[in-house]
Amino acid sequence: MTDTDTPVSGHQESTVEDVDDTQAVVSRVVDNVETVIVGHHREVEHILTALLGRGHILLEDVPGVGKTMLARAIAESFEGSFKRVQFTPDLLPSDVTGVNVFNQKTEVFEFRPGPVFANVVLGDEINRAPPKTQSALLEAMEETQVTVDGESHDLPEPFTVIATQNTVERDRTYELPMAELDRFMKKLHLGYPDTDQETEMLDRVVDHHPIDDLDSVATLEDLRAARETTAVVTAEESVREYVTRLAQFTRRHAELGVSPRGGLAVLRAAQGRAVLEGRDYVIPDDVQTEAQVVFPHRVRTSTDETTPRAVVENALESVRVE
C-alpha cells in the first residue's frame, strides 16, 4: 500500500460509532505514552494522527531530548512487533532489509528478514547511514515490500517507520535528500521540555525507567480498524480546495513548494486529526494544524530572508479559509 494509490475518502461512509471507537483507542494510546513521556503532548498527537493517516514520521532534534523514548513508547503501546535499527556509517542495506542465507541442512537459500520487518520500526539517527542504506529503508517505506535477490517480501501491515535525525553532528552525516524527505509524512521537532516538565521527568526516571513497565493498550487489529475509519473521513470539496491553494501558495513563494504528494499527505493527516477530535469530517482547522508539520520539510527556500517554516506560516495566514 503506497501513499499515492489510496483514495482519501472512499465510498464507504465512516459512521460516527467507528469514529468514537477509534477516538477511544487513540486516547488510550496517548494516555499510555504520557505515563512515560512528560510534556510533548502535541508531538504525541501528531505521531498518532500520522499513524492513522498511514504516514511515517521523522523526529529531528538535538540528542537527549527523548526522541527514541517517545518512539519506543508509541511502539510499545501497540501489541505488534517493534524493531529498532541504529544507523551507523558502516551499516549495509542488507542489515536493514534482511539477507538470503544458504541453509546447509536443506541446501536452499533462506530469507532471513532484517529489522525492517516489524509493525513499528524505529530508525535511530538515520542521517548517519550512507545513502545506499538510507534508501533501502525509504524504499521499504514507499513500497511496503522489500526485494532481496529479485524476490519480493511483503512487510507486515500495519507498517510504520519512526526515524530520528540528529542535528548536532553535521560532519560524517548524510543529509537526507529532499526527494526522500518527502516520503516522511511529518517532520517533528521535540525541543527541550520546560523546567517543570524536565524536573518531573527526572523524578520519574531516576530510579526505574517506566518504559520497561509499559504495556500495550491497543491491538494491531485496533490500529487497522482505526486506519480504515480514518481513510473514509469526509473531506469536502472546499477543504480539498483549501489544501490545494495552500500548496500552490508555497510553490509561488518558495524555490521549491509543496508537491501534490504533500497535499495528499496533509489531507490524510487532517483526516487523522479529525478522528482524534471525534469528527467524521475534516475542517480547515485540521488542515492548518497538520500543515505546520507536514509542509515545512517539503519546502526549500533559496534566500536567507525566509525559512520554509515562515513560508508555510505565511500561507496559512494568507490563504482564505472558505
Partner 1 sequence: MSTSTRAPDLPLGLGDVDAVRAVALGGIALLVSAYGSVFYHFIDVTGEPALFLVVAAVTLAAATTLSSSLRLRWAAVTAVGLLAVGLTLYVLSLPRQPPVAPLVTDAIALMTGRSLLQVTNVDLWVLGVSPGPLFLTWYLGMRRRYVASVLAGGGALGFLVLTTDASNVTTLLGVVGGIVAVAVGDMDRRGDSIAAAEPLAVLLALLIVLSAFAPVVPAGPSRTADTWSSFQTGGLGGSADTVEANLVNADNQVGIAGNLSLSPDVRFRVRSDSSDYWQVGAFDRYTGDGWVRTGSRRSYDGQLDDPPGRSRTVSQTYTAVEDLRVLPAAWKPVSVGASVSDRAQVTDLDGLEVDGTVSSGEAFSVTSSVPVASAEELREAGTDYPSEVEDRHTRLPSSTPDRVAERTERITANAETPYDTARVVERWLENNKEYSLDVQRPRGNVADEFLFEMDAGYCTYFATAMVVMLRSQDIPARMAVGYTSGERVAEDEWVVRGYNAHAWVEAYFPEVGWVRFDPTPADLRRAAEQEQLSEARENNRTDVDVNDTGGPEWTPSPTATPAPLTPREDQPAQEAPGQQTIPDRITRPGGTPVSDGDPENPSVITAPANGSGASDGSGGDSSGPFDRRPPTREEATLGAIVVLGLVVGLRRTGLTGRAYRAVWLRYQPTKDPETDAERAFERLESVLAERHRPRRPGETPRQYLASIGADERAAQVATIRERARYAGRVTREEADEAVSLVDDIVGWRGA
Residues near partner 1 (CB under 8 A): 234, 236, 238-239, 279-285, 288, 315-321
Assign 3-state DSSP to the chain and report helix, strand, coil percentages, each to 5.
Answer: 50, 15, 35
- Nearest residue (CB) to partner 1, 141 versus 231: 231
- Nearest residue (CB) to partner 1, 169 versus 236: 236
| Shortest Å, Cβ 309 to partner 1 | 15
Residues 6+ apart with CB under 8 A from 140: 96, 97, 116, 146, 155, 161
| Shortest Å, Cβ 314 to partner 1 | 9
DSSP secondary-structure letter at 90?
Answer: T
- Nearest residue (CB) to partner 1, 137 versus 243: 243
- Nearest residue (CB) to partner 1, 179 versus 321: 321
> DSSP for 110-150?
EEEE-TT-SSEEEEETGGGS-HHHHHHHHHHHHHSEEEETT
- Nearest residue (CB) to partner 1, 25 versus 239: 239
At 210 the three-state DSSP class reads helix
By residue count, the chain amounts to 322
| Shortest Å, Cβ 322 to partner 1 | 8
> DSSP for 220-279?
HHHHHHHHHHHHT-B--HHHHHHHHHHHHHHHHHSSB---HHHHHHHHHHHHHHHHHTT-
Pairing of strands 108-113, 120-124: unpaired
Check if the beta carbon of residue 160 is closer than 8 Å to that of residue 122. no
| Shortest Å, Cβ 315 to partner 1 | 8
| Shortest Å, Cβ 274 to partner 1 | 9
Measured distance CA(155)–CA(157) in Å, rounded: 7
| Shortest Å, Cβ 287 to partner 1 | 9
- For residue 266, give the amino acid letter: V
| Shortest Å, Cβ 199 to partner 1 | 31
| Angstrom distances, CA of residue 255 to CA of 182, 250, 303, 309 | 15, 9, 9, 13
Measured distance CA(81)–CA(294) in Å, rounded: 26
- Nearest residue (CB) to partner 1, 226 versus 316: 316
- Nearest residue (CB) to partner 1, 57 versus 282: 282
| Shortest Å, Cβ 134 to partner 1 | 36
- Nearest residue (CB) to partner 1, 38 versus 235: 235
- Chain centroid to Cα 135, Å, comes to 16
